[in-house]
Structure 1
Amino acid sequence: MQERLIEALESSSYIEEDQVSKPRLLVYLMGPYKSHPPYESAHPERDAATSRETLDEALEGLQESEFDADEALWLLIEFRRKLRSERGVNAFLATDPEIPLHEMDAATQNIEYTKASVVTIFIAPAMGDNLGVGIEIGSVCEHLPEQELMERVLFLGEENVESSMIDAVSDRWHVTADEFENFDGLYQAVKAHIRTVA
């Protein structure tokens, strides 16, 4: 899976052309793609029921360099860009390798991407709809040995994010968990973790 990911990320239509200096240092970024309502609509002409951009619409905007998407998705994409351009690591989101869901379902993708990656980062921002993050954490953690979870997986939640599932992460699976206050704090924590693992 590691070789397939490296090859798929080189040709991914979701990632801007860049030259990562450490292509084998795969960093899998996980987190919500949607924010909690209410939020500002990128398309005010839509009615309230259809105001949220779909993931496809957001990614299409990214490809056209006119990215205007939900804040939660923007956070992950901007974070991926910064890690790739400034740290040289092969950071990616679940959608980036473009492996069809009929070939490998989303839950299996999360597990396999984590196993193949050097580092996996769960990000839970306060504005994010974090229900899916909690489900993904449980699914991934149940399929990795405890030592790998302790060393390679990092969970970062924004201050004041409350979730029973998230609270259980460090107790049940011994995943390193911490809080962040802002984007810079998040970035610094991830840089430190990658440095430690690498």
Structure 2
Amino acid sequence: MTTIIKDKEAGATVPATDNIVWHQHSVDKAARAANKQQQPCVLWFTGLSGSGKSTVAGALENELHKAGYHTYLLDGDNVRFGLCGDLGFSDDDRKENIRRVGEVAKLMVDAGVIVLTAFISPHRQERELVRSLLGDNEFIEIHVDADLATCEQRDPKGLYKKARAGEIKNFTGIDSVYEAPIEPELYLDNGNNPVSMSVQQIITYLAQQGHIK
């Protein structure tokens, strides 16, 4: 028999068997965040391949690390070597990929960490699913924008060339849809502005929202 339990801290409703109950530990998210002197959150970088998500996320993490903040960067390619190594690139597999990453990010936020994620994450519904896993102001959607022509010109992994040649199917922007954020917390014009400007824009936002000092 399946019952429904309530995650008291995150406010989420999840299915469970009768033999599983939520255990509330004495050291909670607030205590871990206070220990780290930061307010945890998920910085969700989304955009086309080649838009610069990983580049901006990596540069931002360098700055936060140098300032003494506790971070972790979940990169789209890296998680497919382990956590999501069994998934392909169909719509269903992409959705499952994002679901798993969202659950991992939620655990890291509970640990008091500022989490950076660099994923194309082409579907709004999946991004909103991750948002629903987190508390107020803990999900920060960042649209890293560069037009398709710019991304194809950059083509750092040679993927657009392969997609145009028909060697890669279901490639976002070519034969698979990308649903751009409608009202992201942050918009980065990464086709025209330098990475340093984007990093400073995010740091300013994090300070204004109280995630960092």
Decide which structure has greater helix share: 1
Same fold (TM over 0.5): no
Q: TM-score, normalised by structure 1?
A: 0.45
